[in-house]
Amino acid sequence: MDRIHITGGVPLNGTIPISGAKNAALPLMIASLLTGDTLELANVPRLADIAALTRILGNHGVDHMVVGKRPGQTTETGQTIRLTASNVIDTTAPYELVSTMRASFWVVAPLLARFGEAKVSLPGGCAIGTRPVDLLIMALERLGAQIEIDAGYVVAKTKNGLRGAEIDFPKVTVGGTHVALMAASLAYGTTVISNAAREPEVVDLAECLTKMGARIQGAGTPRIVIEGVARMNGARHEVLPDRIETGTYAMAVAMTGGDVVLENTRADLLHSALDILSTTGAEITQVPGGIRVRRNGAGIAAVDVTTDPFPGFPTDLQAQFMALMTLANGQSQIRETIFENRFMHVQELARLGARIRLEGDLAIVEGVDRLKGAPVMATDLRASVSLVIAGLAAEGETQINRVYHLDRGFEALEAKLARCGARIERVRA
Ligand code: UD1
């Protein structure tokens, strides 16, 4: 298995191009199942999760084409893909494929809406809590689907198509909102989603669905209204920038010190996280086409954080922020409200010398003067990258094992950091 070696203690200086958002690209690719026409997606990141979803869509019979490279494109700029679901041969998504990535479960919605049936394995994905799909199933049932769980599969059917309905989520769910949006787009009549997720990736999906002929209002607010249409068409859409990748590199600079411009990204995608980073002492400025992050000389101030659905502080940046706080002047308290059991990075950060105490959903971090490199183990996607950040700031060598977690969500991680002076390399097994 590949490893990453980091020799820490080097400030980051330079530019980092930000990729398209994994969490937007996945539902957008799944939306291709809603139509027999071609959906062209630009700025799609090259990631293991994207490859996994491509295999799942391929298994349903979706044609996948990568559009040739254009002059000036490097592997650090996203790819353009074309997906055509004109000949769907199978509405089953098998365990072997779905178990590797939770988001692949969302294929249930377009398959059911367009073909009246879907059989999809219960999902896998990062081991961060139980992560049930009860709310996704509830949304489909509200739209008139008959659903049974049979031998680890969700079997969904509808006799005369889905019907618009009121879907009131008792808890904000990104996946539930994606599923409801896709299913309701092809349902008969009007659907109202209450307590909808407001994440930028939901807005991106709604924009693409609208280009495909859907009638959607209110995406980005807690109340989304969808007028169902009988059929949808092809479209071209560019995936929005990855706000989690943006925030991750911003935190890396805040931790190591230095001066980096994050290109092809937008500050409005992560206001709360950038505000908090400024409070820790990093200097954040908007520049044309990106964000500049600097920290020179000043210490890192301890700041408390609670994760929340958008526009709150994202749970997907919690581990990275904790890494930063391990070197803060004083104590910070980090509360995780979205996922239980999302503190697996704590024991690995401790190997580098971090002082963190857990009390239920609260992590209490006592800042230390320095971290010292050590061998550590990646446990899930975001936890892994927190170890990279900590390793960049630690003295000496850090070796990160099980890096396949990183490949699921961070495109060209070593190359992007190395171009800013980081001493980081992958050792292939
Ligand atoms: C998405 C993101 C993930 C991010 C998360 C929260 C993708 C591919 N993944 O995951 O990176 O961390 O949003 O911002 O976009 N829940 C239920 N029942 C359900 C569904 C969810 O109880 O049927 C709970 C979950 O256990 C969790 C909370 O609701 O506690 C939020 O989960 P959700 O927003 O659905 O996360 P995902 O869409 O899986």
Angstrom CA distances, 263 to 22, 38, 237, 239, stand at 17, 29, 20, 15
- Closest by CA to 355, choosing from 389, 394, 395, 325, is 325
Pairwise CA distance, residues 117 & 384, whole Å: 37
**Residue with CA closest to ligand 1 atom 9:** 23
Report pLDDT for 86.
Answer: 98
pLDDT in tens, 194-230: 999 999 999 999 999 999 999 999 999 999 999 999 9
Query: Which atom in ligand 1 lies closest to the alpha carbon of residue 125?
Result: 39
154 CA to centre of own chain: 24
Q: Provide mean pLDDT across the span 348-354.
A: 97
Query: Which atom in ligand 1 lies closest to the alpha carbon of residue 174?
Result: 34
Pairwise CA distance, residues 20 & 208, whole Å: 15
pLDDT in tens, 122-139: 886 444 445 689 999 999
405 CA to centre of own chain: 13
- First-to-last C-alpha distance (Å) of the chain: 5
User: How much of the chain exceeds pLDDT 90, in percent?
Assistant: 85
More confidently predicted of 379 and 48: 48
Query: Which atom in ligand 1 lies closest to the alpha carbon of residue 129?
Result: 26
pLDDT in tens, 300-329: 999 999 999 999 999 999 999 999 999 999
Q: State whether the beta carbon of 340 lies less than 6 angstroms from ligand 1.
A: no
Give the count of alpha carbons within 13 A of 351, CB side only.
Answer: 18
- Best mutation site among 338, 340, 342, 408 for ligand 1 pocket (most ligand atoms within 8 Å of CB): 338
All domains of the chain in start order, with CATH: 3-19+241-427 (3.65.10.10), 22-238 (3.65.10.10)
- Best mutation site among 135, 174, 340, 386 for ligand 1 pocket (most ligand atoms within 8 Å of CB): 174
Per-residue DSSP letter, 172: -
Q: Is the dihedral of CA 66, 123, 237, 78 positive or negative?
A: negative
Residue 12: pLDDT band with limits 50, 70, 90: very high
Q: State whether the beta carbon of 26 lies less than 6 angstroms from ligand 1.
A: yes
- Closest by CA to 19, choosing from 49, 62, 39, 40, is 49
CA dihedral 357, 417, 52, 241 (to 10 degrees): 90
Residue 387 alpha carbon to ligand 1 centre in Å: 23
126 catalytic residue (yes or no): yes
Catalytic residue among 48, 103, 126, 363: 126
